[in-house]
Structure 1
Amino acid sequence: MSTPSLADDPDGYAPPPLDGYRFFTDQVMGGVSEGEARIERSGETRYLRLTGTVSTANRGGFIQARVDLDTAFPEDAQGVVLRVRGTGGRYFVHLRTRGTVLP
């Protein structure tokens, strides 16, 4: 499977490029979690991999990758599809719009 492109979607929507993601930890708020986000490849598929140690010390507890969408979803979109894999832990996905301050 390759990275999706405009040609892959009949509505003309393509996800943002992987190199557009920004990595954050709770350190932006005084936490002590550490990690990184990097682009990796499995066969023909490129993906964004988050790794790190999440710590709840100092009231923290997250690592994340964030991206702004340059192209809006199609008007008739009914949902969001995520392809994810992990270690079996508990993960959260937060979506935010221009009309919301918090996820």
Structure 2
Amino acid sequence: MIIFPVLILVSLVLYIYYKVMIFRSGDPLTQDYLNSKSKIFLGSFIFFFGINQYVFYQTKLSLFVGIVFVLIGVFQAHLGWKASQHYRAEYQKHQTRPQS
């Protein structure tokens, strides 16, 4: 199953990308929006890591740890998604506002 390590790596790279973009941005609204997007990818990283642990080891302990990781990942991604939707609307309002 090569798909889970690839998804883990892509999620980790995108998480790091958005965290670096937060430091490069000076606008607090943009920073909040990028932070919410990074939370989505952190949640997906934890989610796929939990699934991969169970698929790789297939023991009861890895099942329990995997379930905990999946739940934490889903929770983190859900919170990031909700925040991203909120900040996306605010960010679009901010972008359409005329600059003076």
Please indicate the TM-score interval, normalised by the length of the shorter structure: under 0.3
Task: Considering Cα pairs closer than 8 Å and 6+ residues apart, tell me whether 1 or 2 has the greater RCO.
Answer: 2
Q: Which structure has the bigger radius of gyration?
A: 2
Q: What TM-score, normalized to structure 1?
A: 0.26
Q: What TM-score, normalized to structure 2?
A: 0.26
In terms of fraction of residues, the more strand-rich structure is 1
In terms of fraction of residues, the more helix-rich structure is 2
